[in-house]
Structure 1
Amino acid sequence: MAEFHDMPGHLVRRAHQVATALFHDHMTREGIDITPFQFAAMSAIKLQPGLDQATVAAWTACDRATIGGVVDRLVEKGYVARSVSEKDRRARVLNLTDSGRATLEQVETIARSIQDEITMGLDVEEKETLVRLLKRVSENHPK
């Protein structure tokens, strides 16, 4: 059995801690009140305006209850508008507001730079390998 510090689960958890801390540090420095998960939800809505919450949950690999709270906070911040679907009156659809689009654009720029910090010390080929392997792990365990 591998030593604890060499176990993939531990290393993935540590890498997640690093990525989350960097995201929070940068957002705080820029005066932006957004979490990594809120960023993911807004990114999904940007890709497909008019998504329902269930689809945003699926696209972000999150359960419906959690995404409900995330969307509630994005609505409270004025980044997302929730409205009744024209196709299904029972469903609520989500769209970015003007403020949400502007904030997301700013966060996307910062998030791209954070990726370089996360992978600091890796060359281009190593970065590509890391992304490819993380995708495989994620795809092998979709939820």
Structure 2
Amino acid sequence: MEPQLDKRFGFLIADVDRLCGNRFDELAKSSLNLTRAQCRVLAYLSHYGEVNQARLASLLEVAPISAGRLLDRMEEGGWIARRHNPEDRRERQVRMTPKAQKALDKARRVGDEIAAEALAGLGRQEKDQLIGLLQRVRSNLSRIVDR
């Protein structure tokens, strides 16, 4: 087992995430009217479409009550809309609003800027290879974790 943290897969993934998140917060202050957590909500809704609150909480890795409070603020701001599932009234479905789509486009531009900074010095083939490898890692883990 490799004792150096900078050569351990889990540490590197977590640390890159931390650094990207901090940079996102820094850049987003001037251009977005949303927090990083709110941007993550919109990114997941854009990717998965309308989802229930419990699934969204799971994707965000937060307790359902925390997700509920976050979604309350976003609904008040006009970023999302919620409705009861007609097949199960206990379940609430969440979707993005048109206002959120415009904000998500700005958030993606911030993300693109961070990616350019993070991948500086890598050639096109190296970038494509890194993305491809990470997609394979995610696929491997999804098969195990998202059963």
Q: TM-score, normalised by structure 1?
A: 0.77
Gaps of 5+ in 1: none
Structure 1 CA distance, aligned partners of 2:52 and 2:92? Answer: 6
Runs of 4 or more, structure 1, over 4 Å off, are none
Between Structure 1 and Structure 2, how many residues are aligned?
A: 141
| Residues 35-73 of structure 1: CA deviation (Å, up to 9, x unaligned) | 1x4323212323454321234345x36355254444334
User: Which residue of the partner structure matches residue 122 of structure 1?
Assistant: 122
**Structure 2 residue matching 1:120: 3-state secondary structure:** coil
Q: Unaligned 5+ residue runs, structure 2? A: none
Is the Cα–Cα contact under 8 Å of residues 53 and 64 in structure 1 kept in the other structure?
A: no
Matches within 5 A, 1:21-100: 21-35=22-36, 37-57=37-57, 60=59, 62=61, 65=64, 67-100=67-100
The percentage of counterpart residues that share the same residue type is 23
Q: In structure 2, do the counterparts of structure 1 residues 7 and 33 end up closer, same or farther at CA, with 3 Å as the change threshold?
A: same
Q: How far 1:140 moved relative to its partner?
A: 2.7
* Partner secondary structure for residue 33 of structure 1: coil
Look up the equivalent residue of 2:53 and give its one-letter code: Q
Q: Distance in 1 between matches of 2:141 and 2:49?
A: 27
The alignment's TM-score, normalised by the length of structure 2, stands at 0.76
Contact 1:82–1:93 under 8 Å retained in 2: yes
Q: Deviations over 1:96-120 (max 9, x none)?
A: 2232222122212222232212212
CA root-mean-square deviation: 2.5
